[in-house]
Chain A
Amino acid sequence: MKNSQLYKGSLNTIIMKLLGENGRMYGYEITQKVKDITQGELNITEGALYPALHKLEAEGLLDVEMERVDNRLRKYYKLTESGQKETVNRLAELEEFIRNMQIIVNPKLA
Chain B
Amino acid sequence: MKQLSLEKIKFINSYLEKSDVIFVDIRAELTDHIASAVEEKMEAENLDFYEAFKDFMVDNKKELLKEKNHFFPSIVRFSKTLYKWYNLAIALLVAITFYFISETILPFINVLIFGLIMCFYVYQTASALITKKRFAHLEQVTFSLTIIYFGSLFFNGFYKDFHGNFYSLGIVSFLLIAFLIHYCLTISKFNPKLFVR
Contact = CB atoms under 8 A, between A and B. Distances in A.
A48 to B, nearest CB: 8
Interface string B175-197: 00000000000000111001100
Nearest to B7: A71
A70 interface: yes
A66 B191 contact: yes
Contact of A58 (B32, B35, B62, B140): B140
Contacts of B190: 66
A25 to B, nearest CB: 12
Contact of A59 (B25, B70, B76): B76
A69 to B, nearest CB: 8
Nearest to B70: A51
A58 B64 contact: no
B100 interface: no
A60 B67 contact: no
A94 B9 CA distance: 39
Q: Give chain A's interface residue range (CB within 8 Å of chain B).
A: 20 to 34
Interface residues of B, number: 37
Interface string A8-30: 00000000000000000011110
A70 B35 contact: yes
Given A28-B36, A46-B63, A54-B72, A72 B194 contact: no
B63 A60 contact: no
A50 to B, nearest CB: 7
B104 interface: no
B80 interface: yes
A27 B32 contact: yes
A73 B194 contact: yes
Interface string B93-112: 00000000000000000000
Contact of A28 (B25, B32, B189, B195): B32
Contacts of A51: 66-67, 70
Nearest to A28: B36
A54 B36 CA distance: 20
B3 interface: yes
Given A58-B72, A64-B189, A46 B60 contact: yes
Nearest to A56: B72
Interface in B25-76: 25-26, 28-33, 35-37, 60, 62-64, 66-67, 70-74, 76
B128 interface: no
Contacts of A72: 4, 9, 28, 31-32, 35
Nearest to B35: A72
Interface in B150-197: 189-191, 194-195
Interface string A73-93: 111000000100000000000
5 contacts: A26-B36, A54-B136, A72-B28, A73-B32, A82-B80
